[in-house]
Amino acid sequence: MVSEATNTRKKSVLWDWLTTVDHKKIAILYLIAGTLFFVKAGLMAVLFRIQLIAPEMEFISGQTFNELVTMHGTLMLFLAVTPLFFAFANYVLPLQIGARDVAFPFVNALGFWLFLSGGILLSISWFFGGAPDAGWTSYVPLASREFGGIGIDFYVLGLQISGFGTLISAINFIVTIINMRAPGMTMMRLPLFCWTMLITSMLIVFAFTPLAAGLLLLMLDRVFDAQFFIPGEGGNVVLWQHIFWIFGHPEVYILVMPAFGIISEVVPAFSKKRLFGYTSMVFAVLIIGFLSFMVWMHHMFTVGVGPIANSVFAIATMTIAVPTGIKVFNWLFTMWGGKLRFTTAMHFAASFVPTFVLGGVTGVMLAMAPVDHLYHDTYFVVAHFHYIIVGGIVLGLLAGLFYWYPKMFGHKLNETLGIIFFWVFYIGFHLTFFIQHILGLIGMPRRVYTFLEGQGMDTMNFISTIGAFMMSVAIIILVINIIYSALKAERVTEKDPWDARTLEWSTNTPIPEYNFAQTPQVRSLDPLFYEKIHGNGEMKPAEPLDDIHMPNGSILPFIMSIGMFIGGFGFISFHMDLFISPYVLIAIGGITFFGGMAARSLQNDYGYNIEKETVESMEKELS
Amino acid sequence: MAENLNQPFEESAMNKEEKRKLNREQRIQVIAFAFMIGITILAFLAVGAEGIPTIFTTPFILLLALVQLIIQLYYFMHLKDKDHGWPSSFMISGLVLAAPMIVALIMLLGVVKY
Ligand code: HEM
Ligand SMILES: [Cu+2]
C-alpha cells in the first residue's frame, strides 16, 4: 500500500469507519456498540422484572428466565460497561497525556473489532437453540455438556474472543500511558482518570488471563469431552469456581476503577478546586488493585473450604474498605468549601458517593463469612452488587458522558432534560434495588423465576419492578435529550466549555485528527488550570510546529475479527447439525485471521505526513 | 549521505567504551548460558542418579527452575539493563499476584480443608 494514495483519495463514510485507526473514531465506535448492548441488556432486565412483578406470574418460562438473567449479567459486565469505559478511555486518555494517538493504533482497532465480533457471536445464540442459561458465572456442573445447553458454547467462545480484544486494548493503554506522555507529564502529574485506567489495564492483564485459561478448559470439556470439571471422571467442580473468581473479583474492580477516575475528574472540575489528596488517591487505587486479587474466596464462603481459609479471605476483603474510605473522604474534602456548580455531570458525580458507600457497606456485611451463609444467593447479594454497579459504575459512566460530550460531539447535552433524567433514574434505581436488601433478608433467593403468594414478598417485588420501569423511562429521556441536543443545541466551538483543568480541554473543538498541533509542555498537575493562573491560559508548546506523522487506516482488523468470528462459530458447531463441517469453518476462520496477520506483517505501511502548512491552516480555521 | 552508504566501513563506528561494554555483555551471555546448561545437567542428575530421595529431588529441581527463570529473564532477556524498570515491575507484580493464588489453590483443592 502506498501511503499518499490512501490519504488523499476520498473515502466513503462506511469505509472510513471500518478502516479507521484514529483513537477518537474508535472511541465513538465503542460508545455506540456499548450503548446498544447496554440497552439490550436493560430490556432483558425489564422482561424478567415483569415476570417477577407478582407471585406466580406466567409471563415467561423458567428456561427463558434463566437465559435472560444470564445474558443480562454477561452483556452488562463484558459488553456494555467495559466498552463504554473503553470509549471514554480511548477518547480522553491520549488527550489527557498530550499524545497524538494511542501507542498502537492498529491494535486499538483490532481490539474493538474483536470485542464486537465476540459480542455478536454471543448474541446470535438465540437463533441456534437458545442463549446461555447457567448464570453469568457459568458454574459447572450446571454448565457442563451433560446439564447445560448449547448456549454455553456461545458463552465460552464469545467471551474468549471479546476478552482477547479487551486484553490487547488494555496492553495498548498501558504502553500508551507509560511511553506517550507529553514532556513534563510525570507519573505523579497524571490525571486520575489515566491512573485508574492504567491500574484497570493492569488488572485486565492479570485477570483476563485466568479467565481465558478457565474458558479454554471449559471449552475442552464441552467440545472435546475432556474432564477438568467433571467430578465422576476425576475432575473438580470447585476448581472452576476458583478460576472464575480469581478473574471475577478483580473484574468488578476493573469496572469500578474507571468510574473512580471519572468522578475524580468531574468533582474537581465542578468544585473549582484541585483534587484533595492526589497522592493518597493514587496509592489508594494501587492498593485496591492489589488487594482485589486476594479476596476471590469471599464468593465461595459457602462452598465449604474450611474456617481458616474463610477467615483469611474475610479479613482480606474487609481491608479493602480502608483505601476505599480514603477515596470517599478525598472526594468529600474536594467538594468541601469548593465553588460547586451543580451541572448534570456533577449531579451524577455527587450522588455516586453515597450510593457507592452503601454498596461498600453491604459488601463488608457480606464479607463476614458466618453471616454470609445467611445472605448468600439471596436478593441481598443482588442489592449489594447493584448498588455498586448501578449506583457506582453507571452513575460514573453517565457523569463522564455529560462531562465529555461537548468535546466528543461539539455540543452540550441539554441540562434541564439532563437533570430530569438524573432524578428519574436515581429514584428509579433506589426503588428497584433498595427494597431488594429487605427481600433478601426475609429470604427471597436469587435466580428463581417466580415466588409464591403470601410470603410477604408481593409488594416489595412490585415496587422493585416499578423502579425498573422508571429507570427505563429515564433512559428514554436520555435518548430524547441526545436527539434534541443534536438538533437544537448550540455548537460548542470554544476549547473549554466547563472551565476545566486537564489537557483534553486545551485542544480545539472539533479536535483535528492529530489532536495537538504542537505537543504541550506540562508544568503541573492540572496543567491547563495551572496555565490559567500562572500563564496566559494556553498550553505552552514543547516542540516547534512541524510535519505530523499519522498512521494509515486499515481494513485488516475488521477482516481478522471476521476470521475469529467464523472460527469461533466453527468450534461451537461441533454440537450442531449444520450443512457445513466444523473443521471447514475453523479452517476458513483460521486462514482469514492468520492471513490478515501475515498481510499486516508483510506490507510496508509507513503512514502519511500532514504538512506543516496544512496544520497551520487547519489550526487557524479552528481557532 | 546516501552515496556514502555503499562504501565499506573501514573501522567500527563504536568507540572504545562501547566495544568494551559489548565484549563484557558477550562474556556474560556465554557464562550464563554455560551455567544454565550446568544446572540443567544437575537437574537430570538429581532425577536419574540412584540414592537421591524424592523428598530432596522435588524442591531441588524447583529451586533450579527458579534460578533458570531469573537468569533467563534478567541476563538473557536484558531485564537487568537500565530502562527496563517498567517491564521488571510488571513481571514482579505478576509474580506477587500469582504466587499466593497458586499456593491457595494447591492447599484448598487438596483433600484437607483449612
Ligand atoms: C467495587 C465494586 C464492587 C462490585 C462491582 C461488586 C460486585 C459484586 C458482585 C457482582 C457480586 C455477586 C457475585 C455473584 O455471586 O454473582 C458480589 C458479591 C460479593 N461482594 Fe461485591 N462488589 C464490589 C465491592 C465489594 C466490596 C467493597 C466488598 C467488601 C468490602 C464486597 C464484598 C462482596 C462479597 C462478600 C460478596 C459475596 C456475597 C455472596 O455471594 O454471598 N464487594 N459483589
Ligand atoms: Cu468479590
- Is A385's C-beta closer than 6 angstroms to any atom of ligand 1? yes
- Report residue A53 as a C-alpha cell: 412483578
Q: Which helix (H) or strand (E) holds B68?
A: helix B54-71
The yes-or-no verdict on residue A344 having pLDDT over 90 is yes
- The neighbour count for residue A130, using CB atoms within 10 Å, is 17
Query: C-alpha distances in angstroms, A123 versus A148, A154, A618, B11?
Result: 17, 8, 43, 64
A154 neighbors A218 (Cβ within 8 angstroms): no
Tens of pLDDT, residues B3-25: 666 666 667 777 888 888 888 88
Amino acid identity for residue A214 in this structure? G
Tens of pLDDT, residues A514-538: 999 899 999 988 999 999 899 888 8
Classify residue A137 as left (phi > 0), alpha (psi -120 to 50) or beta.
alpha
The yes-or-no verdict on residue A469 having pLDDT over 90 is yes
Query: C-alpha distances in angstroms, A448 versus A424, A512, A585?
Result: 28, 52, 38
State the average pLDDT over residues A353-368.
94
Strand pairing class (A548-550; A608-610): antiparallel
Q: Which pLDDT score, from 0 to 100, does residue A10 have?
A: 62
Q: Which pLDDT score, from 0 to 100, does residue A3 have?
A: 40
State the average pLDDT over residues A15-43.
94
Q: How would you label A72-108 residue by residue, b for 16+ Cβ within 10 Å and e otherwise? A: bbbbbbbbbbbbbbbbbbbbbbbbbbbbbbbbbbbbb
Coarse DSSP helix, strand, coil percentages of chain B, rounded to the nearest 5 percent? 75, 0, 25
| Half-sphere exposure at residue A207, Cβ-oriented, CA atoms within 13 angstroms | 28
The interface pTM score, or ipTM, of the predicted complex is: 0.79
Amino acid identity for residue A526 in this structure? D
- Report residue A196 as a C-alpha cell: 485508574
- Report residue A587 as a C-alpha cell: 479452517
Query: For residues A298 and A292, what is the distance between their CA atoms, to the nearest angstrom?
Result: 11
- Is A296's C-beta closer than 6 angstroms to any atom of ligand 1? no
Tens of pLDDT, residues A562-608: 999 999 999 999 888 888 888 999 999 999 999 999 999 998 888 88
CA of residue A203 relative to chain centroid, distance:
13
Q: Which pLDDT score, from 0 to 100, does residue A387 have?
A: 95
- The contact set of B with A (CB < 8 A) is 86, 90, 93-94, 96-98, 100-101, 104-105, 107-109, 112-114
A569 neighbors A550 (Cβ within 8 angstroms): no
Q: Which helix (H) or strand (E) holds A521?
A: strand A520-521
Query: C-alpha distances in angstroms, A153 versus A144, A241, B40, B85?
Result: 10, 18, 42, 41
Q: Which residues of B touch A246 (CB under 8 A)?
A: 101
Domains of chain A: 25-554+605-622 (1.20.210.10)
DSSP A392-444: IIIHHHHHHHHHHHHHHHSBPPPHHHHHHHHHHHHHHHHHHHHHHHHHHHTTP
Q: Which residues of A touch B114 (CB under 8 A)?
A: 305-309
The yes-or-no verdict on residue A288 having pLDDT over 80 is yes
Q: Which pLDDT score, from 0 to 100, does residue A6 have?
A: 43
- Which residues have a Cβ under 8 Å from the Cβ of A194 and sit 6 or more positions away? A93, A96, A97, A177, A261
A155 neighbors A571 (Cβ within 8 angstroms): no
Indicate the average pLDDT of chain A: 91
What is the nearest CA distance from A523 to chain B, expressed in angstroms? 24
Selecting from B94, B105, B108 the residue whose C-beta is nearest the C-beta of A206 gives B94
A206 neighbors A247 (Cβ within 8 angstroms): no
Q: Which pLDDT score, from 0 to 100, does residue A2 have?
A: 38
Query: For residues A298 and A252, what is the distance between their CA atoms, to the nearest angstrom?
Result: 13
Span of A84-93, A182-191, A241-250, B46-55 with lowest mean pLDDT: B46-55
pLDDT > 90 in chain A, percent:
74
Looking at residue A46, the DSSP 8-state letter turns out to be: H
What is the nearest CA distance from B94 to chain A, expressed in angstroms? 7
Q: Which pLDDT score, from 0 to 100, does residue B112 have?
A: 56
Q: How many residues does this entry show for chain B?
A: 114
The residue ranking higher by pLDDT, A233 or A81, is A81
Interface test with B, best of A177, A293, A295 (most B CBs within 10 A): A293
Confidence band of A1 (pLDDT split at 50, 70, 90):
very low
State the average pLDDT over residues A154-171.
95
The yes-or-no verdict on residue A338 having pLDDT over 50 is yes
Confidence band of A45 (pLDDT split at 50, 70, 90):
very high
* Nearest chain B residue (CA) to A290: B97
Query: For residues B25 and B33, what is the distance between their CA atoms, to the nearest angstrom?
Result: 12
Query: For residues A332 and A355, what is the distance between their CA atoms, to the nearest angstrom?
Result: 14
List, run by run, the mean pLDDT of 10-residue segments along chain B (114 residues): 63 80 88 92 89 86 91 84 85 89 83 57
The yes-or-no verdict on residue A5 having pLDDT over 50 is no
Q: Where are the domains of chain B?
A: 15-82, 83-113
Query: For residues B35 and A229, what is the distance between their CA atoms, to the nearest angstrom?
Result: 41
Q: Which pLDDT score, from 0 to 100, does residue A609 have?
A: 87
Closest ligand (CA of A252): 1
Determine contact: A530 vs chain B, CB below 8 A.
no
Q: Which residues of B touch A239 (CB under 8 A)?
A: 105, 109
- The neighbour count for residue A269, using CB atoms within 10 Å, is 24
For residue A491, the cross-strand partners are A411
